[in-house]
Amino acid sequence: MTDNKEKMGHRWAMLCHMAALISFIGVPFGHIIGPLLVWLFKKGDHEFVDRQGKEALNFQISWTIYGLVAALLVVAGIGIALLIALAIANFVLVVLAAVRASSGQEHRYPITIRFIK
């Protein structure tokens, strides 16, 4: 019974990370809203989901800030390349985090500001 509950926690944690990809299909702020909803609904059921949900949210909030800075740098001519690099890195890092979470491994994103503790 505990093993099944633990596996469900891993699946929900994986979904916390994967929900951020909804922004790639055009949902405004989906990269924050998706993980936020999963985290809010499941954080009380599984400690692992609570930790990974916070990690996913902190990462997406941080990368939103980095994206805004890159958008401002479009005027300087380097912003478009930075925005593309950020989008690719976001996708790759989210998939990596989801894979790790699905197997029950803790994941910490790089260069993330920890807003939610």
Please give the structure tokens belonging to residue 93. Answer: 């890092």
pLDDT of residue 76: 83
Q: pTM above the 0.85 mark?
A: yes
pLDDT of residue 51: 97
pLDDT by residue for the chain (117 residues), tens digit each? 468 889 999 999 999 999 999 999 999 999 999 999 999 999 999 999 999 999 999 999 999 999 999 999 998 888 899 999 999 999 999 999 999 999 999 999 999 999 999
Distance spanning both ends of the chain, measured CA to CA: 30
**Measuring CA to CA, which residue among 6, 59, 5 is closest to residue 34?**
59
* Amino acid residing at 2: T
Cβ neighbours of residue 49 closer than 8 Å, sequence gap 6 or more:
9, 12, 13, 16, 38, 39, 42, 43
pLDDT of residue 2: 61
